[in-house]
Amino acid sequence: MKITPVNEKIGAFVEDVNLNSLAIHEFETLYQALLRHKVLFFRDQPLSTEEHIALGQRFGALEPPHPFFPHLTDNDQVVIIETARGNPPSKSYWHTDMTWQVVPPKCSILHAQFVPEQGGDTIWCDMAGVWADLSAAEQSELRSLETIHALHAFEDSRYDHLDANGESIVIKRSRDYPPIRRPMMQVHPETGQEVLFINEQFTRSIINWSESASQLRLSALFSKARQVQYQVRFSWQKGSVAIWDNRATQHFAVTDYGDTPRRLHRVTVQGEPSLAGKPYLP
């Protein structure tokens, strides 16, 4: 197995390995590489649905079906991320997966079924690196703050529509996922790294701050996370796999390919109860 870091902060390519037949020591090597590099990239991995599921389960129990995303008919834990002719992707946001639920996921495994010849890259950001580069005064300020995470970003998206009663299904299903309050900084449960745990898509505001002050502060932090020195960019090919640590990263899907057909399958691993947020009760 050959592991080649992309840069000093985030990302590594893994070669000479078959994800379908990992020995115990090989999996442990991959797991430690994931903790170190935060996102791992693989080429030419022909995973079946069953093999994809089995690989995910080696990292932990899988998340239940996503409340909005489409999934395979024969396995509702495999999300389909697809673009088709006449159905281009909706606006993309930097995000950490599912921070709107009480316990956010541990990691995700994304497998490319088919992709455009050009475009459709994904970018990941090292949020531990972003935190580490804040000044001591900024870190001291942010340690005492909490933010609200919620499902608002899915409203009026391609995943939203009106039900028979004329009600948005996102608003309707959001009642099962009320807003969550989280510390702005969280400690990674395995590496001990401090992580700036906010994201553009699901972090709504800073608790006990005015709306204007909250958005100004969050915008400045989001801008820092968009700086290229914290990022790694991956160009997909058929059979490519990316595995990322959701507890230390956020990512962005580049939607520069119009409605050129593109399909990826994702399984997501449940996170640790130690990172659970609390219901926000204004």
Q: pLDDT tens across 13-41, in order?
A: 999 999 999 999 999 999 999 999 999 99
Q: pLDDT tens across 167-185, in order?
A: 776 777 777 788 999 999 9
Residue 107, token pair as written in the block? 């990691």
Neighbours of 2 (CB within 10 A): 9
**Quick check: 218 and 206 in contact, CB under 8 A?**
yes
- What percent of the chain clears pLDDT 90, i.e. is strictly above it? 80
Name the active-site residue from 52, 111, 262, 266: 266
- What is the pTM for the complete model shown? 0.93
Q: Is the pLDDT of residue 159 over 90?
A: no
Residue 281, token pair as written in the block? 């009760």
Domains observed in the chain: 2-271 (3.60.130.10)
* DSSP for 82-117, written as a single string: EEBTTB-------B-TTTTSSS--SEEEEEEEE--S
Q: Fill in the amino acid letter for 54.
A: A
Cα 104-229-90 angle, rounded to 5 deg: 50
Q: Is the pLDDT of residue 162 over 80?
A: no
202 by DSSP, 3-state: which?
A: coil
Name the active-site residue from 52, 95, 149, 188: 95
pLDDT of 171: 72
Is 263 annotated in the active site? no
Length of the chain: 282
How does the average pLDDT of the chain come out, rounded?
Answer: 93
Report how far residue 202's alpha carbon sits from residue 3's, in angstroms, rounded to the nearest whole number: 33
Report how far residue 199's alpha carbon sits from residue 180's, in angstroms, rounded to the nearest whole number: 14
Is 266 annotated in the active site? yes
Q: pLDDT tens across 211-256, in order?
A: 999 999 999 999 999 999 999 999 999 999 999 999 999 999 999 9
Q: pLDDT tens across 120-140, in order?
A: 999 999 999 999 999 999 999
Name the active-site residue from 97, 111, 204, 217: 97
pLDDT of 21: 92
Residue 229, token pair as written in the block? 């020195």
Q: pLDDT tens across 44-81, in order?
A: 999 999 999 999 999 999 999 887 777 888 888 999 99
**Quick check: 254 and 121 in contact, CB under 8 A?**
yes
In sequence order, the 6+-apart residues with CB closer than 8 A to the CB of 276 are: 102, 103
Between 164 and 134, where is the model more confident? Answer: 134
Is 251 annotated in the active site? yes
In sequence order, the 6+-apart residues with CB closer than 8 A to the CB of 105 are: 63, 97, 98, 246, 268, 269, 270, 271
Name the active-site residue from 247, 251, 262, 265: 251
80 by DSSP, 3-state: which?
A: strand
Is 152 annotated in the active site? no
